[in-house]
Amino acid sequence: MQEKYDFIVIGAGVIGCMIARWLSRYEGRVLVIEKQADLGMGTTAANTAIVHAGYDPVPGSLKARMNVKGNAMWDQLKAELNFAFARSGDYVVAIGEEELPALDTLMVQGKKNGVPGMSIISGEEVRAREKNINPKVSGALWASTGGICDCFQVNVAAGESAAINGVEFKFNTAFEDFIMEGDRIIGIKTNQGDFLSRWVVNAAGLYSDVVMHKAGVRPEFKIQPRKGEYFVFDRADIQIDNILFPVPSDAGKGIMVTNTVHGNTIIGPNAQLIDDKEDTSTTIPGMEEIWEGAQKLIPSLDRRHVIATFAGLRAMGNGPCKTPGVNYNKDYIIEIPENVRGFVNLGGIESPGLASSPAIAEEVIDLLKDAGEDLREKKDWEPIRPARPRYRDMSHKDRQLLVEMDPHFGRVICRCENVTEGEILAEIHAPIPALTYDAIKRRTWLGTGRCQGGFDMPRVVAILSRELGISPMEITKRGHNSEYLVRETKESEAADDN
């Protein structure tokens, strides 16, 4: 028997999970499929985690509308989903007089897009607010609505909120094709079997072009991956207090220097157009490029304090802007296509996709309503996804109380980030369980510090093995083919035999 759903969402990145969460408000059976072992392992896993204010996108574009609308939704989203988010405001920093005109351009653009709370401040004022800034700073655009978040937590929290409200998730489940009945989609084929559904939502990110082509939609649409590389600094050694962008160029928003909600400073990204949708490798020229770019803003950065490097891919599309008179062809696609029924099609959701994500989810709901879908609100919908304790950030008194309540919180597993066994257990037994090392890492921030998991790794593998009741040799870093251990040692084998 094939399972039958009302909605299937392809992809459990931040967009897919946010849509699932919005769908969970209404009656109906919802399934999210994800080819990876966990949520948010694609573009959401590797970006700058900025909630953009909305002065960058081309005025009139869907991107601009989603960004500004989405940005305004984050305070309520944070209150309901309990993730780390700080609306700290951001800066676009002009270095030298010649960069000053770019600030005015952005200001005008931002006003057209409806971005509130912007102003242009003097170089002197920037120096006062960020002591490490390049002394040649000539001014900055200040956007008070910009912010930073933990993008993994946002993704997980949205997914969990959906799961709490009855949405089902299937991981390691890869979309293969649609099941059609005439011009209507009635389900999907996956590597884990077929699933029937009245509606299918394409939130496949880098692969959104592949998915829509299978439905016969927009054959000319193509995702062009744009790789960005990053450095992460030890939070104990370098702390930049602000979100600092350079003035943008044709290549994008440029190599920035920003603080994060965890206190680490990060720099990046560059923007390399590549063909391979799986190529998240860092490169030596790329590392040099971001190093040079970041030093333009903060010359005093010290490479010895870099604790991690990573690369992520942005899913840049070639969707034309629908607004008459706006000549822009990298716009978001959010539509119910005319030639295929039962299909909500998204594509090209690159930056500022994270900031836009709640607005995109709402847009999907609006499209469904417009298409005549009878969406009935659940009476018992639960908007709150409860917060989980973060030992590292608690006061001495609160830690004491927490450990009294549950002693597992007293046992520190990750010594750099002070993540406890209690926090790990909470994630393993969460509504969407964390079953791999990386899943725990992304949810707790364990292993992200200066030793990069060297000490906690064997301990986390042991805890996962114990809790899941499987051999340590079956524990993976991120699912399929990423096991830690290949066999027992000779002595252990001999002991097993006896």
Partner 1 sequence: MIIKKKYDVVVIGSGPGGLAAAIDAKKGGADDVLVIERDVELGGILLQCIHNGFGLQTFKEDLPGPEYAQRYINEAKSLGISFLLDTMVMDVTSQRKLFLSSRDFGYVEVDAHAIVLAMGCRERTRAQVRLPGYRPNGVFTAGTAQRWVNVEGYMPGNNFVILGSGDIGMIMARRLTFEGAHVERVLEIQSYLSGLSRNYVQCLDDWGIPLQLQHTVKKIIGKDRVEAIEAVAVDNKWNFIPGSEEIIPCDTLLLSVGLIPENELSKKAGVLLDPVTGGPFVDEHFQTNIPGIFAAGNVVHVYDLVDWVSMAGSEAGRSAAEFALAEKARTARYIPLVPGKNVRYIVPHKLDKQALEQGDIHLQMRVTRPIEEDVWLEVHGENNRIVRRSERYVRPGEMVTIVLKPNMHAEVEKAGSLTVDIYPKSEA
Catalogue the active-site residues.
Answer: 52
**What is the rounded distance in angstroms from the CA atom of residue 183 to the CA atom of residue 341?**
6
393 touches partner 1 by CB under 8 A: no
* 66 Cβ contact partners less than 8 Å away, ≥ 6 residues apart: 332, 334, 352, 356, 359, 360, 363
213 touches partner 1 by CB under 8 A: no
Stretch that binds partner 1, among 108-116, 195-203, 207-215, 300-308 (CB under 8 A): 300-308
306 touches partner 1 by CB under 8 A: yes
390 touches partner 1 by CB under 8 A: no
232 touches partner 1 by CB under 8 A: yes
DSSP 407: G
Neighbours of 473 (CB within 10 A): 14
Burial (CB count within 10 angstroms: exposed 0-12, middle 13-18, buried 19+), residue 65 = buried
* 132 Cβ contact partners less than 8 Å away, ≥ 6 residues apart: 240, 298, 300
Stretch that binds partner 1, among 199-207, 329-337, 346-354, 401-409 (CB under 8 A): 401-409
* Residue with smaller CB distance to partner 1, 308 or 326: 308
210 touches partner 1 by CB under 8 A: no
The string of DSSP letters for 145-165 reads: T-EEE-HHHHHHHHHHHHHHT
* Residue with smaller CB distance to partner 1, 5 or 310: 310
Question: Using the rule CB under 8 A, which residue among 418, 426, 439, 443 binds partner 1?
Answer: 418
C-alpha dihedral over 181, 182, 184, 186, to 10 degrees?
A: 10
**What is the rounded distance in angstroms from the CA atom of residue 449 to the CA atom of residue 461?**
18
**What is the rounded distance in angstroms from the CA atom of residue 285 to the CA atom of residue 385?**
42
Query: What x/- string results for residues 450 through 469 when contact with partner 1 is judged by CB under 8 A?
Result: xxx-xx-xx---x-------
Kindly state the smallest distance separating residue 301's Cβ from partner 1, in Å: 14
Count of residues that bind partner 1 according to CB under 8 A? 62
**Helices of type H across 137-279:** 151-164, 208-214
Instruction: Please report, as residue ranges, which positions from 253 to 282 form the binding site for partner 1 (by CB under 8 A).
Output: 278, 280-282
Question: Using the rule CB under 8 A, which residue among 363, 421, 423, 427 binds partner 1?
Answer: 421
Comparing CA positions, the residue from 15, 17, 12 lying closest to residue 41 is: 12
Question: Using the rule CB under 8 A, which residue among 274, 336, 403, 430 binds partner 1?
Answer: 403
Question: Using the rule CB under 8 A, which residue among 219, 469, 490, 498 binds partner 1?
Answer: 490
**What is the rounded distance in angstroms from the CA atom of residue 179 to the CA atom of residue 187?**
5
**What is the rounded distance in angstroms from the CA atom of residue 286 to the CA atom of residue 296?**
16
Question: Using the rule CB under 8 A, which residue among 98, 104, 393, 404 binds partner 1?
Answer: 404
Kindly state the smallest distance separating residue 464's Cβ from partner 1, in Å: 13
Question: Using the rule CB under 8 A, which residue among 83, 178, 231, 328 binds partner 1?
Answer: 231
Token representation of residue 75: 């305070």
- Measured at the CA of 452, the angle between CA 411 and CA 417, to 5 degrees, comes to 40
**What is the rounded distance in angstroms from the CA atom of residue 331 to the CA atom of residue 58?**
9
Stretch that binds partner 1, among 157-165, 245-253, 325-333, 444-452 (CB under 8 A): 444-452
396 touches partner 1 by CB under 8 A: yes
Question: Using the rule CB under 8 A, which residue among 103, 154, 247, 287 binds partner 1?
Answer: 287
Q: Tell me which residues touch partner 1 (CB under 8 A).
A: 231-232, 236, 278, 280-284, 286-287, 304, 306-310, 391, 396, 399-400, 402-404, 407-408, 410-412, 415-416, 418, 420-421, 450-452, 454-455, 457-458, 462, 472-473, 476-492, 495
